[in-house]
A and B are shown apart, each in its own frame.
Chain A
Amino acid sequence: MRTVVQFGPQHPVWIEPLRLKLTLDGEVVKDAELEAGYVHRGLEKKFEWDYNKAAYLSERVCAICTQHHSTCYCLAVEGTMGLEVPRRAAIIRTIMLELERLHSHLLAIGLTLEAIGFENLFMQSFKDRELVLDVFERTTGNRVLHGINIVGGVTRNIGPEMAKEISSFCDVMEKRCHDLEKMVVNSYTIRQRMQGVGVMSQKMAEDLCVVGPVARGSNVPYDVRAVAPYLLYKEIKVTPVVEKGGDCWARTMVRVRELFQSIDIIRQCLPLLDGAPDELFAKSRSMPDGENFARVEAPRGELFYFVRGKKSKELDRVKIRTSTYANGIGIVPLIKGAQLADVGFITITFDPCIECFDR
């Protein structure tokens, strides 16, 4: 007998509204339909505003990857004006980007573990995440939204003392991440629960053009930091972290291994701060003119901003293509044929961010 179950929009598994209409045959999902748009606020329209203030607006697209959103927006606008950010600003932006990846991945790992009932490990990874938020608070004055990026540079400096603090934070964090990794990798239960669930083959990943950890978990070595370097990634070489499995386990392992990669990048950036001149901000002589786009590797994958200026303070058009939007298409084929109990779990390993999805 076929039953239709409405999964969402208000559902305990998700903190954000998303609706899945599932057609069930017993416990097995036969058909799934995804409906989004519950949190569509119409942000892209609002971007036709003062281009300098819109950097703050772009942070409010999604708070889990704020720094990536505002950096990408700033890179796109700077491109239309032919502006080069000072070296120190580029270093600070890179450090903040990697810190943000740390906190986002810890959040995603924690929520994944919670979805299969490991409350304790969820608490553990959230406890580690608080350390990252402390660093954010000490450098920018805010825990989640930073407000540090503006077109042309950054507003706050990282002095030598703060640099020392960040480097000792890296040591502590690395140890904590090793502990977390050990607990996840050595646990027989987690392995059994995750392996072979929600498998996305390499071909499917390439066909659907998914990005980020979802693609890299399916053996597609696509990372914007490697294929189209921006900011400091031109100097610091990044090798994409790849896993072969394509299942929930592989996606989680990509995130766990990327934690160490991020710590490594921060460590490489910190000594560069010493030699850089104390210049944080380059003033532009022209207004945004013409079209430009920028890409960055957000924690969830490639993030894309298109900007068109019209030689005035207001922008003509801003188009955002977020990483979750690219990945969303992959959710439905994985859910089809899965058990009902796995539906929430599979979607969580995609690290869905509905605020990005709908904007």
Chain B
Amino acid sequence: MSLTELARKKSPWVIHVGTGGCNGCDIELLACLAPRYDISRFGVMSTGNPKHADIMLVVGPVSLKYKEIIKNLYDQMPDPKVVIAVGTCASTGGIYQGCYGHCGSVDKVIPVDVYVPGCNVRPEAIIDGLVLALDILNEKERKLLSEKKGAA
């Protein structure tokens, strides 16, 4: 394991994007940061700046007005990056399927790596999803490196 991989595994930075769910998963994400579940003890750090983030946590179906913004945020994140769809409505559209104001699940707009279903999700499930995302993140990093070597 390289040093960057180790560092990333020990301290991933996440950005939290709410795009129009019902807040149920939003406040469970907040509960993850609060003492009972406390993901910061694993080194997870919540940041507001996409340029610092490794992992994007998206909550809710993407509303039409937010489509451009979330694409922007995604493009601003440095490679390698992972997107986690938190909640049923981020994964499939959930109960909002058929509403006119949004474009369904997150993967219609940006590529999603991990889906965490549940309406509302439990904090344990979010932590599970994060752990899964770390492996994917490192895999992506290795792939990037080998591509670079191949090009050189």
Contact = CB atoms under 8 A, between A and B. Distances in A.
Contact of B24 (A16, A43, A45, A145): A145
Contact of A63 (B19, B69, B101, B120): B120
A61 interface: yes
Interface in A95-122: 107
A126 B23 contact: no
A56 B95 contact: yes
A355 B102 contact: no
Contact of B30 (A59, A60, A126, A127): A126
Contacts of A10: 17, 48, 50, 69, 73
B99 A46 contact: yes
A343 B63 CA distance: 26
Contacts of B47: 12
B65 interface: yes
B48 A63 contact: no
A332 B18 CA distance: 23
Contacts of B77: none
Contact of A145 (B36, B73, B119): B119
B31 interface: yes
Nearest to A359: B101
Contacts of B150: none
Given A10-B73, A60-B22, A41 B27 contact: no
B16 A15 contact: yes
A41 B102 contact: yes
Interface residues of B, number: 41
Interface string A325-347: 00000000000000000000000
Given A16-B18, A62-B22, A37 B27 contact: no
Interface string B60-73: 11011110010001
B34 interface: yes
A199 B95 CA distance: 40
B49 to A, nearest CB: 8
Contacts of B107: none
B28 interface: yes
10 contacts: A9-B69, A15-B16, A38-B20, A41-B96, A46-B98, A57-B95, A123-B34, A127-B34, A127-B36, A145-B119
Interface of A: 9-12, 15-17, 37-43, 45-46, 56-57, 59-64, 66, 107, 123, 126-127, 129-130, 133, 142-145, 353, 355, 358
Interface of B: 16-31, 34-36, 47-50, 60-61, 63-66, 69, 73, 95-96, 98-102, 119-120, 122
Given A60-B96, A127-B35, 16 more contacts: A10-B73, A15-B16, A15-B26, A17-B69, A37-B65, A39-B66, A41-B63, A41-B99, A43-B101, A45-B100, A62-B22, A62-B23, A63-B27, A66-B22, A129-B34, A144-B120
